[in-house]
Amino acid sequence: MSEPAPKKRLYIKTYGCQMNVYDSERMADVLAPLGYGMTDDAAGADLVVLNTCHIRERATEKVYSELGKIRELKEARAEAGGRMTIAVAGCVAQAEGAEIMRRQPAVDLVVGPQAYHQIPELIARSHRARGERLAADFAPDEKFDALTPERRPTGVTAFLTVQEGCDKFCSFCVVPYTRGAEWSRPAGDIEAEARSLAEKGVREVTLLGQNVNAYDGVGGLAALVRRLAKIPGLDRIRYTTSHPRDMDAALIAAHAEVAELMPYLQLPVQSGSDRILKAMNRAHTAQSYLRLIERVRAARPDIAISGDFIVGFPGERDADFEATMQLVREVGYASAFSFKYSRRPGTPAAAMPGQVAEAVKGERLQRLQTLLDDQQRAFNARQVGRTLDVLFERVGRNPGQLIGRSPYLQGVHANAPDRLIGQIVPVRIDGAAKNSLAGMLELETA
């Protein structure tokens, strides 16, 4: 394919969840026809996009401090007679809108997560005048209709958004306010995008959604997984993030029956205390969650379970926290994400009594993370001596080494020739650390 050399340079910095990673790629796709090519050098960029996250206070503050730095680059550029456009996209853009430009006047435009297809037009407009620059109020179907299925994948794995938004309204969370109500893409569009990825060498897709298992096409996420599993060349399918409430029997059965569906499940629980779960508006109990895990394990005994946790939610007492520790011991996680509760203005929990002191949150988080780290190490150590299928993704740090992923999403490094990038290869695991495994090729592959 011959493309004109890019005349303009685009720098995108991505914060937050994988949804944002996917959206950043799509923004690059819509800007490419306008002559924008990616650069890693913010100082030399014509267009800087910060794709932001609002989930915790610190995530939002990081964005403003980065904007301060980009502003200096913009000024330096202007002094040298150049021009830099600064765009803020993502969940801070949606939540704070024009407020961002008041706090950081160097920002030229603010664009919410449902309006990325409008970026080219917004940029043109911001160059022309200082008129209407906000685009934060569009429906997701317009966004996806306007983004063509043509993707430019850069590797052998790719994200694919199938569902957006959330209307669960957990009392601590901003996502229902930044991403809007749950909305699912038509299965045909998703399949077209997946086929296009597979034709370009992608072997593994991760289906994304704020509540991906709430995917509401015919037959739900299970039917979508089965449909995508038939695409030639697409050998691995993953999905994230799931809500316990939407984990239905069909999806559990798919874990037993669909070989392409990888044995990994991120199923956030947030707390092991029913009292706190109720205050969080999570709609599951510790027991119902444990029963669900049992059913998933009955279908796929070796599945790697991952989860999200919040400590120090308002009103959390020692006994509630101990209930979380107990639940963790009962589940045995392969990996996890855990956070101190962060008070988000406008969410119901922000106004709840019994806000927990930072020091207490810190102690609890440390204890929880020690336990979760031990479990992760133990899960990894159990793979030693086994032979796992590894999809090699890229060259490693040491010469002759490749890095890939096991079915359980563990990073695996092994000495292997470059030609195996993009191949799924049996690797005998002979070492395990907290974050990765080491192995050797089986003789017939090497």
List residues bridging with 308 in a β-sheet.
337
Using the contact rule CB under 6 A, the part of the chain among 17-25, 134-142, 191-199, 332-340 near ligand F3S is 17-25
Which partner in ligand F3S, ligand SF4, ligand SAH, none is near 310 (CB below 5 to 8 A by kind)?
Answer: ligand SAH
The minimum distance between CB 339 and ligand SF4, in angstroms, equals 11
Closest distance of CB 269 from ligand SF4, Å = 11
45 CB contacts (<8 Å, ≥6 apart)? 9, 10, 11, 39, 84
Residue 86 near ligand SF4 by CB under 6 A = no
Q: Is 75 helix (H, G, I), strand (E, B) or coil?
A: helix
3-state class of 10 per DSSP? strand
Query: Quick one: what does residue 380 bind among ligand SAH, ligand F3S, ligand SF4, none, with the CB cut-off 5 to 8 Å set by partner type?
Result: none
**Position among 243, 284, 344, 405 found at the interface with ligand SF4 (CB under 6 A):** 243
Residues that bind ligand SAH (CB under 6 A): 55-56, 166, 172-173, 175, 210-211, 241, 243, 268, 270, 308, 310, 339, 341-342, 344
C-alpha torsion angle, residues 316, 317, 320, 322 (rounded to 10)? 130
Among 12, 17, 214, 280, binds ligand F3S (CB under 6 A): 17
> Which residues, 6 or more positions from 345, have their beta carbon under 8 angstroms from its beta carbon?
none
Rounded CA-CA distance 73/44 in Å is 8
Q: Which one, 301 or 345, has the nearer CB to ligand SF4?
A: 345
- Report, in Å, the least distance between residue 264 CB and ligand SAH: 15
Does 173 bind ligand F3S (CB under 6 A)? Our answer is no
Under the binding rule (CB under 6 A), the answer on residue 280 touching ligand F3S is no
Residue 58: CA count within 13 A, CB half-sphere: 4
By C-beta, is 11 or 172 nearer to ligand SAH? 172
Closest distance to ligand SAH from the beta carbon of 296 (Å):
16
Q: Measured between alpha carbons, how far is 83 from 81 in angstroms, rounded to an integer?
A: 7
Closer to ligand F3S at the Cβ: 174 or 441? 174
Which one of 12-20, 139-147, 323-331, 390-398 is the stretch in contact with ligand F3S (CB under 6 A)? 12-20
Q: Can you say whether the dihedral through the CA atoms of 376, 56, 245, 248 is positive or negative? A: negative
Query: Of these, 91, 224, 254, 402, which contacts ligand F3S (CB under 6 A)?
Result: 91
Supply the angle between the helices 187-199 and 220-229 in degrees, to the nearest 10: 30
Query: To the nearest whole angstrom, how small is the minimum distance from the Cβ of residue 73 to ligand F3S?
Result: 24
Q: Name the minimum Å distance from CB 365 to ligand F3S.
A: 18
Q: Closest CB to ligand F3S among 67 and 323? A: 67
- When asked if residue 97 is in the footprint of ligand SF4 (CB under 6 A), the reply is no
**63, 71 in Cβ contact below 8 A?**
no
Asked if 151 interacts with ligand F3S (CB under 6 A), we say no
Rounded to 5, what percent of the chain is helix, strand, coil? Answer: 40, 20, 35
- Identify which of 94, 105, 123, 104 has the alpha carbon closest to the alpha carbon of residue 30: 123
Question: Contact at 8 Å (CB) between 97 and 134?
Answer: yes
Q: Are 10 and 47 in contact (CB under 8 A)?
A: yes
CA distance 264 to 165: 22
Which of 95, 254 has the CB closer to ligand F3S? 95
Minimum distance between the CB of residue 166 and ligand SF4, rounded to whole angstroms? 3
Q: Is 271 in the site for ligand SF4 (CB under 6 A)?
A: no
Peptide bond into 157 cis (omega under 30): no
Which among 303, 157, 159 has a CA at the least distance from the CA of 233? 157
Q: Which of 24, 210, 335, 406 binds ligand SF4 (CB under 6 A)?
A: 210
- Enter the DSSP assignment of 46: S
> Which residues in the 145-174 window bind ligand SF4 by CB under 6 A?
166, 168-170, 173
Residue 59: C-alpha distances to residues 56, 68, 258, 443 (Å)? 5, 15, 37, 47
Out of 89, 175, 205, 421, the only residue in the binding site for ligand SF4 (CB under 6 A) is 175
Burial of residue 111, with CB atoms counted within 10 A of its CB: 0-12 exposed, 13-18 middle, 19 or more buried? buried
Question: Binding ligand SF4 by CB under 6 A: which of 6, 120, 176, 431?
Answer: 176
- What tokens were used for 285? 């109990």
Write out the residues near ligand SF4 by the rule CB under 6 A.
Answer: 166, 168-170, 173, 175-176, 210-211, 243
Write out the residues near ligand F3S by the rule CB under 6 A.
Answer: 16-17, 19-20, 53-55, 90-91, 174-175, 178-179, 210
